[in-house]
């Protein structure tokens, strides 16, 4: 229930202006805010009130209330690539897993799609499994902002009452999901690598814990919806079915500039612009075993001859030899290439959690007991400084024969 502390309220009307549902007004006679019927408890006004005069009291959810929450929702995150708006790969991956979860619950799958000029993304969402798309277009959603996207998504969650909401564990997903969880007083499991439904119809959210040394299975028994962020590259993308369609629900967005406290002053391309290890088909990953920064040239040459992309362990990022966006692992990115070369990487658990979804792993290490060999499909015990130049020479030679 939304409470107004009349002693604190100064009648400034900010709550009235930001409420997307028109369910709070300042009474002219008393100059105090009053909550009307229809308040969805979305929390937008609580956040905006400069006097902290508003609060929402939430109680633990009962079995009867839990039964009212239905359907699996996914945040339809998009990105601008070369001036074009494209849906992020992780959304398609989540559609595959989300469908599996929705089928187990006997519920449907929906995508919340906030943005400006994003209608063209809808068919792709249907083809990958969405039954419904909530299209929320507005001028102020042209760029991601924590406030704008939180207000829109929290409102939809409050009115539609999904049982599960999934977000990609991307930089923006990691910003948005906790904000919504805070706004709606929900549980949130971050960085999941597994999702399933148990016999009590609860979402079992699996994620590495204690530095990756155990895999924890987490439930959210007291709140609905159950919310998780999921690492990109963990689940496979479903095969698109271009004949599949669905229902588009246009949502009226009532955002005001005052609701968004941040402003974009300048856009600076990120240092991984052009290098996306999450989408690479072949990764040539280097570890401390390469010995020096200069030897990275050899790794880059190897990647070039086999059309691969260079990535690395955290050791190389800590040494400043490669940028963080190229780090594989628990505190880096989760990757799932067709072929993963681990060159001079010992195989610490924090590295393994980021690459064991690869189709095939080739490890080269001079220590025959290195843990990386436990997850390798092909292992070579030896010195990378001898093996890689030879490998490059042979590939070049073979390529020339074909030409």
Ligand X SMILES: Cc1cc2nc3c(=O)[nH]c(=O)nc-3n(C[C@H](O)[C@H](O)[C@H](O)COP(=O)(O)OP(=O)(O)OC[C@H]3O[C@@H](n4cnc5c(N)ncnc54)[C@H](O)[C@@H]3O)c2cc1C
366 binds ligand X (CB under 6 A): yes
40 Cβ neighbours under 8 A, 6+ residues apart: 21, 23, 155, 158, 159
Nearest approach, Cβ of residue 203 and ligand X (Å): 25
DSSP string, 104-128: HHT--EEEEEEESS-GGGHHHHHHT
Residue corresponding to tokens 């100064």: 10
329 binds, among ligand SF4, ligand X, none (CB under 5 to 8 A by kind): ligand X
Q: How far apart are CA 311 and CA 353, in angstroms?
A: 15
Q: Is 313 helix (H, G, I), strand (E, B) or coil?
A: coil
Report the alpha-carbon distance of residue 266 to residue 270 in Å, rounded.
12
Nearest partner of 260 among 122, 91, 141, judged by Cα? 141
Does 289 interact with ligand X (rule: CB under 6 A)?
A: yes
**Residue from 192, 348, 361, 376 that binds ligand X (CB under 6 A)?**
348
Instruction: Please report the DSSP string for 64-102 in residue order.
Output: HHHHT---EEEE--EEEETTEEEE-HHHHHHHHHHHHHH
**Choices 35-43, 129-137, 176-184, 379-387 (CB under 6 A): range interacting with ligand X:** 379-387
Please tell me the distance from the alpha carbon of residue 262 to that of residue 136, in angstroms, as a whole number: 20
Site membership for ligand X, residue 331 (CB under 6 A):
yes
For residues 32 and 70, which CB has a smaller minimum distance to ligand SF4 in the complex?
A: 32
CB nearer to ligand SF4: pick between 216 and 258? 258
CA distance 223 to 76: 23
Only one of the segments 44-52, 57-65, 153-161, 281-289 lies at the binding site for ligand X (rule: CB under 6 A); that segment is 281-289
Shortest distance, position 147 Cβ to ligand SF4, whole Å: 13
Residue 196 structure tokens: 């399933």
User: Which listed residue (1, 3, 13, 198) binds ligand SF4 by CB under 6 A?
Assistant: 13
Candidates 23-31, 98-106, 168-176, 275-283; binding stretch for ligand SF4 (CB under 6 A):
23-31
Least distance in angstroms from the C-beta of 336 to ligand X: 15
Looking at the Cβ atoms of 29 and 294, the one nearer to ligand SF4 is 29
Question: Do 150 and 112 contact (CB within 8 A), yes or no?
Answer: no
Nearer to ligand SF4, 33 or 72 (CB): 33
Q: Please give the sequence-ordered ranges of beta strands (E in DSSP) within 93-187, or none if there are none.
A: 109-115, 132-137, 164-168
Cβ-based nearer residue to ligand X, 185 or 215: 215
Strand pairing report for 194-197 and 203-209: antiparallel
Backbone angles phi, psi at 340, to 5 degrees: -125, 120
- Distance of alpha carbon 306 from alpha carbon 396, whole angstroms: 9
From the list ligand SF4, ligand X, none, partner contacted by residue 21 (C-beta under 5 to 8 A by kind): ligand SF4
From CA 340, how far away is CA 258, in angstroms rounded? Answer: 48
Which of 23, 71, 327, 330 is the binder for ligand SF4 (CB under 6 A)? 23
Toward ligand SF4, which CB reaches closer, 223 or 313? 223
- Asked if residues 211 and 329 have their Cβ atoms less than 8 Å apart, the reply is no
What would the two tokens of residue 1 be?
């229930």
Residue from 359, 373, 281, 269 nearest 323 by CA:
269
The correct pick among 136, 280, 302, 345 for binding ligand X (CB under 6 A) is 345
Under the criterion CB under 6 A, does residue 211 sit at the interface with ligand X?
yes
- Write phi, then psi, for 350 (nearest 5 degrees): -65, -25
CB closer to ligand X out of 136 and 317: 317
Task: Tell me whether residue 52 or residue 369 sits nearer to ligand X (CB atom).
Answer: 369
Nearer to ligand SF4, 46 or 130 (CB): 46
Q: Is 314 in the site for ligand X (CB under 6 A)?
A: yes
Which residues, 6+ apart, have CB-to-CB distance to 175 below 8 Å? 146
Interaction with ligand SF4 in 29-58: which residues (CB under 6 A)?
Answer: 33, 35, 39-45, 49, 51, 53-54
Measured from the CB of residue 5, what is the shortest distance to ligand SF4 in angstroms? 8
The pair of three-digit structure tokens given for residue 150, joined into one six-digit string = 């939180």
- Using CB under 6 A, pick the residue from 302, 315, 322, 336 that binds ligand X: 315
Contact residues for ligand SF4, defined by CB under 6 A: 2, 4, 9-15, 19, 21, 23-24, 26, 33, 35, 39-45, 49, 51, 53-54
Contact residues for ligand X, defined by CB under 6 A: 211, 287-289, 313-315, 327-332, 344-346, 348, 350-351, 354, 364-367, 370, 383-385
């Amino acid at each position: 229930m939304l409470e107004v502390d009349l002693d604190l309220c100064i009648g400034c009307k900010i709550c009235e202006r930001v409420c997307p549902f028109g369910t709070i007004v300042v009474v002219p006679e008393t100059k105090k805010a009053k909550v009307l019927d229809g308040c969805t408890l979305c929390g937008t006004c609580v956040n905006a009130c400069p006097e902290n005069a508003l609060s929402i009291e939430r109680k633990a959810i009962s079995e009867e209330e839990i039964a009212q929450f239905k359907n699996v929702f996914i945040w339809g995150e998009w990105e601008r690539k070369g001036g074009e708006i494209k849906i992020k790969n992780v959304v398609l991956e989540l559609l595959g897993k989300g469908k599996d979860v929705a089928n187990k619950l006997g519920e449907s799958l929906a995508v919340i799609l906030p943005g400006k000029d994003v209608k063209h993304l809808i068919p792709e969402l249907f083809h990958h499994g969405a039954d419904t798309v909530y299209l929320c277009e507005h001028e102020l959603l042209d760029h991601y902002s924590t406030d704008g996207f939180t207000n829109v998504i929290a409102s939809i969650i409050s009115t539609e009452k999904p049982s599960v909401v999934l977000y990609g564990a991307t930089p923006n997903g990691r910003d948005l999901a906790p904000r919504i969880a805070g706004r709606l007083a929900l549980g949130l499991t971050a960085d999941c690598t597994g999702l399933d439904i148990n016999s009590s119809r609860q979402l079992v959210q699996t994620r590495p814990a204690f530095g990756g040394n155990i895999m924890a299975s987490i439930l959210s028994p007291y709140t609905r919806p159950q919310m998780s962020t999921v690492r990109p590259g963990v689940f496979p993308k479903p095969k698109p079915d271009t004949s599949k369609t669905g229902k588009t629900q246009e949502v009226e967005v009532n955002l005001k500039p005052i609701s968004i406290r941040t402003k974009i002053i300048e856009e600076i391309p990120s240092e991984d612009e052009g290098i996306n290890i999450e989408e690479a088909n072949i990764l040539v990953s280097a570890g401390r075993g390469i010995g020096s920064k200069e030897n990275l040239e050899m790794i880059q040459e190897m990647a070039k001859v086999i059309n691969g992309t260079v990535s690395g362990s955290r050791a190389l990022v800590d040494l400043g030899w490669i940028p963080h966006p190229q780090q594989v692992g628990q505190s880096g990115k989760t990757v799932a290439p067709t072929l993963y070369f681990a060159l001079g990487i010992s195989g610490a658990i924090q590295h393994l959690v980021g690459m064991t979804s690869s189709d095939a792993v080739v490890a080269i290490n001079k220590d025959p007991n290195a843990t990386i060999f436990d997850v390798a499909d092909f292992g070579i015990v030896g010195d990378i400084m001898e093996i890689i130049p030879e490998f490059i020479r042979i590939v070049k030679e073979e390529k020339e024969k074909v030409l």
